[in-house]
A and B are shown apart, each in its own frame.
Chain A
Amino acid sequence: MTIFRLFTSEVKAVLSNPIILLTVLGGVVFYSFLYPLPYSHQTPVEQKVTVVNLDKSRTSFQLERMVDATPQVQLVNRASSIDEAKDRFLSGEVNGILVIPEHFYRDLLQGKSPSLSFAGDAAYFLVYGTIVEGLASASGTLAAQVKVASLLAQGEPISTAFTHYSASNLNIKPTFNPEIGYLSYVVPAVFILILQQTLIMGVGILSGTQKYGVGYWSSIPTLKLVFMRSTTFVAIYYLLAMYYFGFSFNYYQIHRLADPLILLALLAPFLYTSSFIGIILGNVLPRRELVTVVALFSSMPLIFCSGFIWPLEAIPEPVIWISQLFPSTLAIQAMLKTNQMGAAFDQVISLWELMWAQFCFWGMWAIMFDRKYRLKTKY
């Protein structure tokens, strides 16, 4: 059989298998809309907070207005006592409590540094962080105003008082994801995992379906079949990857900083290695549905050790070694660096080399397992 005939037979086998179509095309397209769904608002805003104002001075009401004016926090109501605020918090009506202490205004004027107390549910990191950020920025603004007022009272001219309230200024800039959007954080990494897992399932189901049967594949020698099967899937997945990194990223307004050629270069070892893993699973597992089970189970551990949720420096060394065996780990790191952070190709070349090492490693196993498990007729 010529290489071209084999290629068309493989494509036909994919297109005529409804389960593969459902998993590969259906899965990829379905996930491209489903996964970003929860994050479509990008950043949490206007978290509900209740305030206990024990001071009731003009300044404390001014602080309340300033807190309410921040985009992060919305003051929904006033509680008359801390106990009342606690009840509202526990019933889920609000996500945080701000307490303005008694004599807040007096202590402020006397330079006794009164304490503002915030409490929030830290079991939800993002909500808690948002509230703290909003409250801290409001109290910081009030503190600066008080300082400027006291500088003015000491006789500083107004033009310098505005700059002199602190010794050194801080200009802090979020880089690569300037709006700190959750969508731009999660989607680029998760899409790579989706590509890997659906690819493994697709190849695995095809190999698992064919290994006991007889057909065009029975007379193909191992090396040729492994190579052509993965090439077929890599070709299909190049198209799907273009849909993800082109259309979807554009649709969700996610950065696309990398040169398309770099993306294509990075995808090559990633997609080939994933296909090899699919061939191995399809051959070694007794039934084809188990490929899906393995892919499903492995998703969560893989996403947590890929270094974008939890810093690599904080992950135990043995976990890092194991995770480097899987294509998604390296691909996520390389793709985030190039496409999201604008790294040049030579800055990810060491990752790319490792990806080709994975290619060799899994390629060898794929050849071995195909030899051992697939029924072959004489050729």
Chain B
Amino acid sequence: METTPYSQLHVLKNDWWLLSCISWIPILLSVSVWWTLSQGIARDLPFGIVDLDKSTLSAQLVRILDATPTLATHEAYVDIQEAKSALIEGKIYGYAVIPSDYMRNIYRNNPPQVSVFYNSQFVLIGKLINSAVQQAHGTFNTQISVLQNLAKGNQPISLAVGKTVTIKNQITPLFNQNSNYAQFLLTAVVPALWQIVIIVSTILVLSANFRIYGAKNFLCLHPFWLTFRIAGAYIPFYLMFGFAFLAWFYLGLKWPFHGELLALLYAQFLTTVACVVMGSFFFVLTLDTARAMSFAGAFTAPSFAFMGVTFPVTDMSNIASTWRSLLPISHYIEAHISQSSYGVTVMQTINQISIDMARYIFPLLLLIPLYKKHRRAWQIQK
């Protein structure tokens, strides 16, 4: 029995869940998140109007609001109370109150005030509403002022516009030209899922081998090298997934890519090894799969929040950035974004990621004393 090679084909045949973890589950997870966000750009968010003036000018403002891609103003409310409760119930994401005598005050050159309340509990949706309303109101103001200037006569339309819009802003979003939400989130979500899959699969692999080939056989030989051989045998699978999501992003979904594939593949290889090390470490810590899984969960589940894509790293506290530096995927995502967007040189990425991943030698070396401890405990038991 001792000399039997640890056939992983046999293990996979016996453990349907392990097989699933390295086959359809990561695909299903990634596709389900992509499907959820697939619209990419939030359009026609319901927006309420409380028009207390009901004049041609207030109707014009409403039309401009409705014409923005972000807002759709089908909801009209008779009073503020009604709009407010619709906002609370989540039927609308914001509402504008156009005061009575709005038109009269504009004509009298006594600027009236439009009040807009938007739901900022949903921060990212709120920001979209905010900028759409600002933009629409700016357009409305410009239209009115240009007309006023033209009415005074004696000036061409370009000067009338120049007098109204004194400064023009040209805003260029780099690397994500149409502010596509799916691109923004999936760049982080899919690698985060990838990390979870690698760590969980590593634990399942080791536990399956323990179960099928016996803990005794495992511990009596050279467990450290055995762990290498067994857990390492799955690295090609993980790399395949890594390559697959790169192909999906940059060939399938055609997101812009300015970097070198070679550097990213190197980064993926080191990330995979680091995750396998962490998975093995969690398992060997107690040799109890359920406990290892709890550790793995605590370690990987919040990693999306720490990656620094949704919330900038520069605004994280020191403890947060320390925890962040423990997660393999946060080093990977830095390499990934610096390659895909910034197009840094291959050597820069290779140097950086090699230094970052060197820290995982420490948990790797910890495996040796841990195995020694378990062997001793096992012999006492015998």
Contacts and interface: CB of A to CB of B under 8 A. Distances in A.
Interface of A: 18-19, 22-23, 26-27, 30-31, 34-35, 37-41, 43-45, 47, 90, 92, 108, 110-129, 132, 135-136, 139, 142-143, 146-147, 150, 160, 163-164, 166-178, 180-182, 184-186, 197, 201, 205, 285-290, 292-293, 295-297, 299-301, 304-305, 308-311, 313-316, 319, 333, 336-337, 340-343, 347
A166 B88 contact: no
Contacts of A22: 291, 294
Given A142-B167, A309-B124, A316 B111 contact: no
A164 B341 CA distance: 44
Interface string B157-200: 00101110111111111111101010111010100110010001
User: Would you call the interface of chain B mostly helix, strand, loop, or mixed?
Assistant: helix
Contact of A111 (B32, B140, B159): B159
B112 A31 contact: no
A310 B181 contact: yes
A292 B323 contact: no
Contacts of B177: 122
A36 to B, nearest CB: 9
A123 B341 contact: yes
Contacts of A297: 25, 29, 193, 196, 200
A35 B297 contact: no
Interface string B204-215: 100100000000
B250 interface: no
12 contacts: A39-B311, A116-B167, A118-B171, A118-B172, A122-B179, A128-B173, A169-B111, A184-B121, A295-B297, A309-B185, A313-B46, A337-B90
Contacts of A45: 315
A289 B207 contact: yes
Interface string B38-52: 110011111000000
B175 A290 contact: no
Contacts, number: 328
A111 B165 CA distance: 8
B124 A173 contact: no
Contacts of A37: 306, 316-317, 319-320, 323
Given A92-B338, A341-B88, A336 B42 contact: no
Given A40-B317, A119-B174, A297-B25, A168 B312 contact: no
B268 interface: no
Contact of B122 (A201, A205, A311): A311
A90 B343 contact: yes
B154 interface: no
A303 to B, nearest CB: 9
Given A122-B177, A126-B310, A340-B121, A300 B193 contact: yes
Contacts of A289: 203-204, 207, 289-290, 292-293
A275 B179 CA distance: 40
A340 B87 CA distance: 12
B17 A293 contact: yes
Nearest to B37: A310
Contacts of A26: 294, 298
B11 interface: no
Nearest to B130: A172
A104 B295 CA distance: 59
Contacts of B116: 170-173
Nearest to B309: A124
A176 B114 contact: no
